[in-house]
Every structure is written in C-alpha cells, then in structure tokens.
Amino acid sequence: MIRIIFEGVMLGVSAGVYCAGTCLVFFMPYLLAEGEQRMSGNLKKISLFMLGRLIAYIGFALIVGLVMSANRSIFTARFSHIALIMASSVMLVYALAHNFSGSQACVSFLRKARLMRIPFFLGLFTGLNPCPPFLVGAARLWTINDIFGGVVLFSAFFLGTSVYMIPLAFVSYLNRSERVRRIGVIMAMLSGVWFLFIGISGLIRS
Amino acid sequence: MARHTKAVSAGLFLALFIALALFSFISAGGDRPILFAKLLWSLVVAYIGLCIYRYGAISKFRSILFILIAFFFFIEFKLFRFLSIENCVPPYCHIAQASTLFNFIHSQYLALASGEWRTWGVLTLGFLWLLIMFTIGQGICSWVCFYGGWDEACSKLSRRPLVRLKVSKSWRDFPIAFLIFLLIISFLQGLPFFCNWFCPLKLTEAFWDTHPSIRIVQAVLFWSILAGLVIVLPVLTKKRTFCSMICPFGALASICGKASPYKVTIDRHKCVSCGKCGEVCPVFAVENKNPDEYKISDFCNRCGRCIDVCPADAIHILSGPAGGQIDTRDIFIFLALLTTGVISGTFVPRAMLQLIGLK
C-alpha cells in the first residue's frame, strides 16, 4: 500500500505541471474574474475546486474498480471527453452569465446558481478531463485491479498534483484591478469554447 | 525661411546618417546585384526619413514604407511557390513567437541545460524582438511588422470610414486574454496553437489537422479571420482590426512596450477635445474618460497619425519622468526607421531582385 501511495504522489508531482496547466486554464480565469482580494477569501474557492477534483479522482477510481469488465478504452475516452464537455459548459455558462450580468435573467441566474458552488463543479469536471497525467494514472489503475488500491492511488495522485495549485492562492494580488477581472472573464469564455470544441471533437474521433 | 532651410539641412544630415548606418548593418554577404539592391533599399528608407523630417507628417510616409515592406514580404515568403523562388528562407515569425513564448523560454532552458550553445544561439532571435520592444516599444507594430502592412493597406482603400466601429474596453483587452490563453494552451500542447488554428497570414495548409472535419473547422476559421479582420473590416472602418482585436504579438508588445522610453502623450493644457485623434487612431488606442479628457493607452503603436491630425499640436512623443519630459520625436523616428530598415533589409533587397528577374 505504501508503494501505491508513493507511486501516486510521484506520478502527481512528476506529471503535475501538465495537469496544473489544464486545470489552470479553467480555474485561473474564474479566480481572476470572481476571486477576492484577500487571500483567505480565495482559499475557500480554491478549496472547493480542490474538493471537486478529489471527489472526481476518487469517484473515477471507484467506478473503474466496479466496472473493470467494461470496455476500458471506450470507457476512458468517452467518459473523459464527456467530463470535458461538462466542465467547459459550466465555464461557458459562468462566463456568459457574467458578461451579460446587466440582463435580469442573468442576475437571477447568478443568484440562484450561487457562484460559490461553481468552483466545486469546475473541479469535479476538470478532475476527469483527459490530460496526460490523468491518463497515465488511469493506465496504472487498470493494472492494480483492486478498488481500494485504486482509490488510494488517485488520492495520492491528487496530493502530488495539488502542489502545482499553490500559486493559485496568490491570484488575489492580481485581481485587484478591474481590468484583470475583465480579462479573466474573457479567458473563461475562450477556455469554455475551446474545451467544448475539444470535448466534442474528441467524442467524434473516439 | 532660415528656420526651414535649417530643418531641411538637419533632415538631410539625418537621412544620410540613416542610409550609411543602415547599409553598414545590412551590407554583409551577397553578390554585386544584392549589394546594389541593399544600397537601394537603404536609400529608400533614408528618403522616407527625409520626407518625414522635411514635411513633418509621420504617418503618411511611414505608411508607404510599412505597406512596401508587407508587399515585399508577401512576394518573398508567401508567393515563393507560385513564383518558383528557390532557396527561400522561411521568415522568423514574431507573432508565432509571442503566442508560444512559454515554449520558447522552455526551449531556451533545455538548450542551456544541455550545453548546446549553438541551439541557444539560434533561438536568441526571440530576444532581438524583445530588445526592439524595449527600444521603440509598440512602435514595432506600425513600423517593423511585415504583417501589419496587410491590414494597413486594406484600411487605405477607402477614403473615409464606411462603418464607424466602436470598441469597448473589454473588447480592446481581448488580445491580452487571448494571448494568455494561447501561452498556456501552446505550452500544454507543445504546438504553435495560434498558427494551427487562427493565423490568417500563414497562407499554407501545413498546420492543418489530418481529420477531415477538423480541417473544415480550421479552414472556416482561417478564411473568416482573413476575410473579416484583415480585408473587409479594415476597408469598411479604416482601422487595423486584425492588429487591434486579435494579434497576440500586439498584446505582448502592449505589455513589454511599457519599458520603451518613447511615449505618445496628449498635453491636456493644449488639447481642445476635438476627438480627431480617437477618430483616426487605427488601433483604438485613444481613450476618452470623459468628453474633455483624452488619453493614449498602452495599445498605442506610435504610428504618428494622431500627431499629424491634431489641430492644436497637443500630441507629442515624449520621454522622461512626469514633469521633466522632453520631446524625443526625432530620436524615435530615427530609431524606428533604422530598426525597420535592418529587419526588412533581410528580405526586401532579394525580393526586389526577384521582381525584376535578377534572382
């Protein structure tokens, strides 16, 4: 078991820069636009995002463990692309709602959706997206053949990759300017559109 | 009269100096025809400088040079397949450089770490662009950039704007958001993401995907950006829409260009708030906080158009700390012309010879 924990952490640390890159494209624009100017305020949002990722990883390991007999390659590819479509849709809805916040419908949507919940869903769906480290982790998961072992591997993997999320806490120093927040919203929109396209084209290809 | 004669003499002296300095920079290598072509190009650049100094209109003459460079660039690098030009060296694309800056920094690190100094030497061309940005700043986009001349040329086709295009602050910041997005995605993919998907100036299918339906999306993006932002919108609005609304290099230059000491500044005491500067600015770089207060933003390309049209002579190129600024217009023009001449001197003389069939 210690070996699996070590493997997961090392996998996360070694490949995590790409993982952080993928997650950052989603979460950084959100934090720039919606984050608070105090670090403590942002930590809550980051924690929700991380919680979403953790649940995504553990959930993935559990589901894979339970349905090992299913067609693995189709399961991984389709599943991760659908997750990517979900994450980008959340991002797009957020960015569009933010951009058109002058309209009554958007104001009521923002109130109902309570933006604080969005980091959790962003974390949940980006946690499942087909970035290279995630796929390496998934490949290792097939060979473990043990539900509990898989959960431990992905929890450790989460810890390893989380190291690269630490800089997010300092975004609070950037988003004090209205201009930076504006740029954050545009980036959120761009990321949403791009990853939606990647998700859909991935589904078409797979 | 004496003052005019003095100005013309100073202009002549500076033009001669530009010609000599430029020729000494670009003359190395090549046979006799290419040497003559280089000399001719040095004289053309110097003559443009003389016209600017003599007539005082920066943008008019700058624009001629700028469009000429874009034309020769098109001949040399984009039409080489059709004109059967041999041994064409691909251009060093600064727009691709901007959008893959993280990849570039990473490759610099790898080259240094491996001890492969030759690789490092080639890649340091990127630092040349940075150096230019630290000197003439975003002036690079209106003087040196061999792509910018394309939409500048299109924007000259109509006599007056057929459509008045107003761009909000959010949309003016779009290139910066786009640049950050490109930097991250390009680094993640290890590919020039902008070139693959958006660049309307590549005129090649080399970057297109192998999957037929993805190629269709790329083709639609490519043709719509080319037709919309490089041709149609500039013709209709007389604005450089590609440069101001999408170009990642322009965004990078607006950030790095802050280091340049040459700033286009509006003198609030002289300004009569006519708004002409905002009307003619091709890159939406004039902001008016309120109807009486105009300000030049970081997106200013130092093209000089606002300086030329200002009826109150309130706009100048200044350097130095607030309160103690001095007019450095002539120094800026000299540097901008020299830089333009050196960069364009690497391909224009050859393209000139190719046009007349000597190469």
Structure tokens belonging to residue B169: 């602050």
Would you call A167 an interface residue with chain B, using a CB distance cutoff of 8 Å? Answer: no
Q: How far apart are CA A128 and CA A202, in angstroms?
A: 14
Substitution target in B184, B187, B209, B214 with the highest count of A β-carbons within 10 Å is B184
Would you call A147 an interface residue with chain B, using a CB distance cutoff of 8 Å? Answer: no
Q: Confidence class of residue A21 from pLDDT cuts 50, 70 and 90?
A: low
Percent of chain B with pLDDT over 70: 89
* Strand duo B286-290 + B263-266: pairing: unpaired
SS3 B275: coil
Candidate from A18, A186, A197 with C-beta closest to B173: A186
Q: Confidence class of residue B40 from pLDDT cuts 50, 70 and 90?
A: very high
Q: Are A161 and A16 in contact (CB under 8 A)?
A: yes
Candidate from A18, A187, A197 with C-beta closest to B188: A18
Q: Confidence class of residue B90 from pLDDT cuts 50, 70 and 90?
A: low
- Note the pTM of the prediction, 2 decimals: 0.82
Residue A99, pLDDT score: 64
Q: How far apart are CA A34 and CA A14, in angstroms?
A: 30
Residue B170 CB coordination number (10 Å)? 14
Question: Could you say which residues from 182 to 201 on chain B have a Cβ atom under 8 Å away from some Cβ of chain A?
Answer: 184-185, 187-188
Domain positions in chain B are: 1-91+329-359, 92-260, 263-327
Would you call B217 an interface residue with chain A, using a CB distance cutoff of 8 Å? Answer: yes
Give the chain B residue whose CA is nearest to the CA of A16.
B188
**Phi, psi for A97 (deg, rounded to 5):** -60, -40
Q: How far apart are CA A60 and CA A127, in angstroms?
A: 9
pLDDT greater than 70 at residue A100: no
Place of tokens 């959930």: A59
Q: How close A181 comes to chain B (CA, Å)?
A: 10
Q: How close A149 comes to chain B (CA, Å)?
A: 30
Closest listed residue to residue B265, CA positions, set B319, B308, B333: B319
**Tens-digit pLDDT profile for residues B175-210:** 999 998 898 888 877 888 888 888 887 766 667 777
Alpha helices in chain B (DSSP H): 2-26, 32-55, 58-73, 94-99, 101-114, 117-123, 125-135, 140-143, 148-155, 169-172, 174-189, 193-197, 212-225, 233-237, 241-245, 248-256, 276-280, 305-309, 329-344, 348-355
Give the chain A residue whose CA is nearest to the CA of B168.
A182
CATH classification of B263-327 is 3.30.70.20, yes or no? yes
